[in-house]
Chains A and B, each alone.
Chain A
Amino acid sequence: MRAQLMRRTLPSLVLGLLFLSTPAMGSCLDKYQELLGQLQKQADIMQRTSLLLDPYIQSQGLDKDGLKEHCRERPGAFPSRDALQGLGRWEFLRTLDTTLGRVLHRLTALRRDIPKAQDLETLNRAKQNIRGFKNNIHCMAQLLPGSWETTEPTPTDPGTSPSPTPTSDTFQRRLEGCRFLHGYHRFMHSVGQVFREWGESPSRSRRHSPHQGLWKGTRRMQLSRKNKRLLPRGQLPR
């Protein structure tokens, strides 16, 4: 039991420390490689099923033969790895931000089915991690050339809504929640891979040179820092 608790809390602590280094201090890292490395690490940690999926399966009694195999991501619920790899950097970040926003909503909906305070705490920590990750996405977007606001919404895979309408049928809702969490962890795994590819081949997307982005990002940072001083913590800059 203690080991299980450790498995759950340790990655969260690591994530917390990672997040502390940037958004908690109210400013973005202006070094592309450092920020990219941080996003990779965060994605690597968030893909771990011990953070959300495993405790959920256990609390809902889905850890039975015949049920576990139905706890699989619904095709199309999250963007596939191929789809993510096919996106440009802007589009990728935007998709990531949008998808994680939906994940946050869905996690909030899951709260009603979780009775134990300990599991609720795990869920809340996961939500905080996602918020921190989204902040870092915005920081990364500032380092890329172009404008976050002016970028066209990127069409993603058909049916990439990770939050289908929750049904009133508790059993179905339970299965859907499980599938959703499975898809979420898989999605974060794919995200980590994409970020890793960014690090391996920085010239993959030559349209958006990191160095160019750095310059622009620095200028944007100066502006955004002024704004951020007025913003409460956790609120994303617009």
Chain B
Amino acid sequence: MALFSVFQTTFLLALLSLRTYQSEVLSEPLPWAPESLRVFINSTHQCLHLQWSVHNLAHHQELKMVFQIEISRIKTSNVIWVENYSTTVKWNQVLHWSWESKLPLECAKHFIRMRSAVDDAKTPKQSFWSNWSSWEEVHVQNSLGHDPFFVFPKDKLVEEGSNVTICYVSRSQQNNISCYLEGVRMQGEQLEPNVSVFNLNHVAFIRETGTNIYCKGDQGDSIKGIVLFVSKVLEEPKDFSCETQDLTTLNCTWDPRSDTGLLKQLSQSYTLFESFSGKKTLCKHKSWCSWEVAPESQEMYNFTLTAENYLRKRSVHLLFNLTHRVHPMAPFSVLFTDVSATNATMTWKVHSTGNYYTLLCQVELYGEGEVIQHNVSVEVDGKQLFGGLEPDTEYRAQVRCANANHFWKWSEWTRQNFTTTEAAPSEAPDVWRNVKSVQGHSVVTLFWKPLSKLQANGKILFYNIVIENLDRSSISRLLSIPAPANGTELNLDQCLYQIHVTANNSVGTSPASVIIVSGDPGNKEVEEERVKGMEDGFSLSWKPQPGNVTGYIVEWCDHPRGPLCDLQWKSVGPTTTSTVVSSDAFRPGVQYNFRIYGISTERVPYLLEKKTGYSQELAPSDNPQVVMSNLTSRSFTLSWKDYSTESQPSFIQGYHVYLKSKAGQCHSGSEKAVLSDDAVCCKYKIDNPKQKTFVVENLQPESFYEFLVTPYTSVGEGPHGAFTKVTTPDEYSPILIRIILPMVFCILLIMIICYLKSQWMKEKCYPDIPDPYKSSVLSLIKSKENPRLTIMSIKDCVPDSIEVLNKQEGTRKSLTETESSKATYLYLLPTDKSYSGPGPCICFENFTYNQAASDSASCGHVPVAPVAPPSQLGLLTSPENLLKALEKNYMNSLGEIPAGETNLNYVSQLASATSGDKFSLPTNPPEPALCSEYKMQMAIPLGLASPPSSGSSSLSSVTLLDEGEHYH
């Protein structure tokens, strides 16, 4: 126990002494402290470069040390960075360390100091920090100019998305400065009284020429700014690859990816480094670079491609054997020799790639849609024989090569065309004929199909036709028809002929096609069958012939409706009894007729069968033109005989007759049908397509009907277009017509007779000289029932004078002219002695009717003036009564008289001798003044119809004058 106490005390003392020693050592300066600390500024990169040295190191002594570096901003106490920098220090070595500031160095003062410690296992006792060096102040603002303010950092280059700190430094604290990013004001924070900073986060790429950031003073006249170059992130090159074509130069390519979008001087550069040779080259292009292959036959290459800009570096590596990256150049001098109709030899050369390389060449031959491929091993020259070619055919050959030992890439193709020579046609032309008998002769039209390219083996120049008369074998004829004719017409007699047709090109003649033609066309009457077309044509079959046939021919017209039939035919073998006939010319709705011929062993064709059909049946597009006849009250007949069933777009199976009536009842033989417009009608069905008349019966008299005739086929019926309207007559109208017509004829006959005998009738019924007994005056008098008043008979009147008026009939005279009319009076002395003195004398003046009244009838109402003034009536035996009657007439005539009633205005035939009629009396009439006179009745024109009264009767004169002519 005592021993333990002694040991413990000794240990504590030793520990105490060691501690004391250590404190003594620390109090002394470290012999390897950093000295000569210098600070350099790189404003562009915002870097501080520190440079110092460590003294007291022995020669060749190396010491592992740690340097602790402290950086303060604005003031020394504001430490913003502390870093321990470990390195091995050698004798007399200058040490370097850099620090990049996020804040531009111009924005604030920076202070730097450092201390060191030995971190070396060899000297464990020295692992304590030295004293701090004195603070080194970095104050860039001192070196600025005299401008009122500055903006930093200048021309900084950053990557897109990074954070940037910007500041302005003002000379005066009073300056009110505002800063903008591309015209948008930024909000900053005060770092010092004259310094503000702006933190931009995740800056974006705007344009190649950089982003403008600028500050302006409150005066606005000074502006300072910077350009921030924002680069897109540099990407790693893709698809880096190297190859050689000639083993002397390597061509390396890569995809540079997206552009960094900077000015050329700031853009990235590409360098190529080969590690085995240690060579390096700066590439001039962004996506490829050339490398000279080492002459000492270096086989392996290890390339490093480095893309680098101010901010980033990207590298890719590639290791390869040169012989495995041979990309041969395209072959050249491709030639064709010994070209015949079926063979050709192709030769070519390849670029030399050294003596030890064999190339594998691939040859392709294109012709007539076929590709033939050959692989050829080549060292210097290549050769390939092509056989089995088609005559007169253009071929295209191409060749490419690759390294046979280590395939890398094929070279580019080298192409060349060649054409084989011609050969004689290999097949006989396909020949057919059409025979017509014209006036005892046969007109034979020969047709042949042009040979296909494979059969022709060259350009067909002409066709030879040899016509051999089999009945007279010695006679034959040769015709040469130049190509490209495909037929000819021959006039032959009724003999049997054998015709040989051959096709010829520049090399030779084809085999002959032989056909026998006789005067009989061989078109015996056979029944026509219907066939149904399919999508790909018509499937035709026929009965096999019992005898020997050498083949069959199906004949048809591609355009049966056209003026040119365009005869087609198809030859099949003797064992074939069916075929499908197809043609691009087949159209829906067109009827095609097929004839099937058998070819006998004597090569004589004979008709076997006829077929007809549509490739596709269509519904009829139009209805027949129907003629209606025999219309009775109970029936009518419909007829459409002009309707052609052959030219329809499908086989006509029959007709439907639609009949619409108001009754809506359908009789037997018809059925009710509902049309598309929901109209109900009766439908009669005609099953026979050849029946083209139909009698519609059981109709009602005097009824309205509508009818429509439409064909129907297997695919539908014709359009339900306009119905034809018809109305049945009544049952009696024909009878009536039989009665009325003779009656009308009779009446007309009577009227004609009356007209012809009108003069006789006039004289009988109403003569020119009126019968006073028929006068209205008489009736007027009679109406007064005055028996004393009678019409004076001429026999009772003793004439004393007769006035004869010399006046031309039918002439009208004006008023002035009437003056010249001179009246001639013939005075008749009374023979009766009882006559004493002046007695009543009656003078007749003919004012029977007034033409003016008739003429003006069209005016509607004509006021008719009284013709006889009251003064004239004084001569009447009973003036009062007569006056009354005339006044009544006068009033009537003043009133409105219907025009129709004024055609003939019968006025008084009595006139006084004292009347002022200018026609009647001279101004100085002979005595005796009072007498009766009689004047002829005549028509007086309106202008001349002056009243018989004197001018005092103005009313009369006005009313009788024409409307436009008023005389007073």
A1 to chain B minimum Cβ distance, whole angstroms, is 16
A171 to chain B minimum Cβ distance, whole angstroms, is 4
* A66-B180 contact in complex given A61-B209, A112-B265, A170-B154, C-beta closer than 8 Å: yes
8 A Cβ contacts from A165-192 to B: 168-172, 174-175
B214 to chain A minimum Cβ distance, whole angstroms, is 7
B517 to chain A minimum Cβ distance, whole angstroms, is 76
Please give, as numbers and ranges, the residues of chain A lying within 8 Å of B180 by CB-CB distance: 64, 66
Contact B263 A115 (CB under 8 A): yes
Please, how many angstroms separate the alpha-carbon atoms of A65 and B223 in the complex?
Answer: 13
Contact A116 B265 (CB under 8 A): no
Contact A62 B212 (CB under 8 A): yes
Interface: A17 (CB within 8 A): no
Closest to B150 in A: A169
* A67-B214 contact in complex given A113-B209, A170-B154, A171-B226, C-beta closer than 8 Å: yes
Contact A170 B183 (CB under 8 A): no
Contact B214 A66 (CB under 8 A): yes
Contact B182 A64 (CB under 8 A): yes
Contact A66 B216 (CB under 8 A): yes
A85 to chain B minimum Cβ distance, whole angstroms, is 29
Contact A169 B223 (CB under 8 A): no
Contact A169 B209 (CB under 8 A): no
Interface: A60 (CB within 8 A): yes
Contact B210 A170 (CB under 8 A): yes
Interface: B605 (CB within 8 A): no
| Mask of A149-172 contacts with B, CB within 8 angstroms, 1/0 | 000000000000000000011111
| Mask of B163-198 contacts with A, CB within 8 angstroms, 1/0 | 000000000000000001011000000000000000
Contact B182 A175 (CB under 8 A): no
8 A Cβ contacts from A40-80 to B: 59-62, 64-67, 70
Please give, as numbers and ranges, the residues of chain A lying within 8 Å of B182 by CB-CB distance: 61, 64
B481 to chain A minimum Cβ distance, whole angstroms, is 64
Please, how many angstroms separate the alpha-carbon atoms of A172 and B223 in the complex?
Answer: 9
Contact B183 A64 (CB under 8 A): yes
Please, how many angstroms separate the alpha-carbon atoms of A59 and B206 in the complex?
Answer: 11
Please, how many angstroms separate the alpha-carbon atoms of A7 and B832 in the complex?
Answer: 137
A220 to chain B minimum Cβ distance, whole angstroms, is 46
Please give, as numbers and ranges, the residues of chain B lying within 8 Å of A113 by CB-CB distance: 209, 263
Please, how many angstroms separate the alpha-carbon atoms of A65 and B181 in the complex?
Answer: 11
Please, how many angstroms separate the alpha-carbon atoms of A175 and B226 in the complex?
Answer: 11
Interface: B264 (CB within 8 A): yes
A119 to chain B minimum Cβ distance, whole angstroms, is 10
Contact B209 A70 (CB under 8 A): no
Please, how many angstroms separate the alpha-carbon atoms of A169 and B180 in the complex?
Answer: 17
Closest to B221 in A: A70
Please, how many angstroms separate the alpha-carbon atoms of A157 and B211 in the complex?
Answer: 36
Contact B208 A171 (CB under 8 A): no
Please, how many angstroms separate the alpha-carbon atoms of A177 and B224 in the complex?
Answer: 15
B186 to chain A minimum Cβ distance, whole angstroms, is 12
A: number of interface residues (CB 8 Å): 20
| Mask of B239-263 contacts with A, CB within 8 angstroms, 1/0 | 0000000000000000000000001
8 A Cβ contacts from B761-785 to A: none
Contact B183 A115 (CB under 8 A): no
A174 to chain B minimum Cβ distance, whole angstroms, is 7
A20 to chain B minimum Cβ distance, whole angstroms, is 33
Contact A61 B155 (CB under 8 A): no
Interface: B869 (CB within 8 A): no
Contact B208 A169 (CB under 8 A): no
Contact A59 B223 (CB under 8 A): no
Interchain CB contact (< 8 A) of A115 among B208, B214, B223:
B208
Please, how many angstroms separate the alpha-carbon atoms of A67 and B182 in the complex?
Answer: 9
Please give, as numbers and ranges, the residues of chain A lying within 8 Å of B718 by CB-CB distance: none
Contact A67 B209 (CB under 8 A): no
Please give, as numbers and ranges, the residues of chain A lying within 8 Å of B216 by CB-CB distance: 66
| Mask of B596-630 contacts with A, CB within 8 angstroms, 1/0 | 00000000000000000000000000000000000
Please, how many angstroms separate the alpha-carbon atoms of A198 and B154 in the complex?
Answer: 48
Contact A171 B212 (CB under 8 A): yes
Closest to B180 in A: A66
Please, how many angstroms separate the alpha-carbon atoms of A169 and B216 in the complex?
Answer: 16
B167 to chain A minimum Cβ distance, whole angstroms, is 15
Interchain CB contact (< 8 A) of A64 among B151, B210, B212, B265:
B212
Please give, as numbers and ranges, the residues of chain A lying within 8 Å of B264 by CB-CB distance: 115
Interface-centre pick from B180, B208, B212, B214 (highest chain A CB count, 10 A): B212
Interface: B941 (CB within 8 A): no
Please give, as numbers and ranges, the residues of chain A lying within 8 Å of B223 by CB-CB distance: 67, 70, 175
Closest to B223 in A: A70
Please, how many angstroms separate the alpha-carbon atoms of A175 and B180 in the complex?
Answer: 15
A89 to chain B minimum Cβ distance, whole angstroms, is 38
Contact B208 A67 (CB under 8 A): no
Please give, as numbers and ranges, the residues of chain B lying within 8 Å of A168 by CB-CB distance: 154-155
Please, how many angstroms separate the alpha-carbon atoms of A64 and B180 in the complex?
Answer: 10
Please give, as numbers and ranges, the residues of chain B lying within 8 Å of A174 by CB-CB distance: 209, 212, 227
Please, how many angstroms separate the alpha-carbon atoms of A66 and B225 in the complex?
Answer: 12
Contact A60 B209 (CB under 8 A): yes
Interface-centre pick from A62, A64, A116 (highest chain B CB count, 10 A): A64
| Mask of B212-230 contacts with A, CB within 8 angstroms, 1/0 | 1110100000011111000
A49 to chain B minimum Cβ distance, whole angstroms, is 19
Please, how many angstroms separate the alpha-carbon atoms of A59 and B210 in the complex?
Answer: 10
Please, how many angstroms separate the alpha-carbon atoms of A5 and B416 in the complex?
Answer: 46
Contact A169 B155 (CB under 8 A): yes
7 cross-chain pairs, A with B, having the tightest CB-CB distances, nearest first: A64-B183, A171-B225, A170-B227, A115-B208, A170-B155, A61-B212, A171-B227
**4 extra interface residue pairs, beta carbon distance < 8 Å, beyond A61-B210, A62-B212:** A59-B209, A67-B214, A67-B223, A171-B225
Offer 10 A-B interface pairs, CB within 8 angstroms, sorted by A: A59-B207, A61-B207, A62-B212, A64-B212, A65-B183, A66-B183, A115-B209, A170-B210, A172-B224, A175-B223
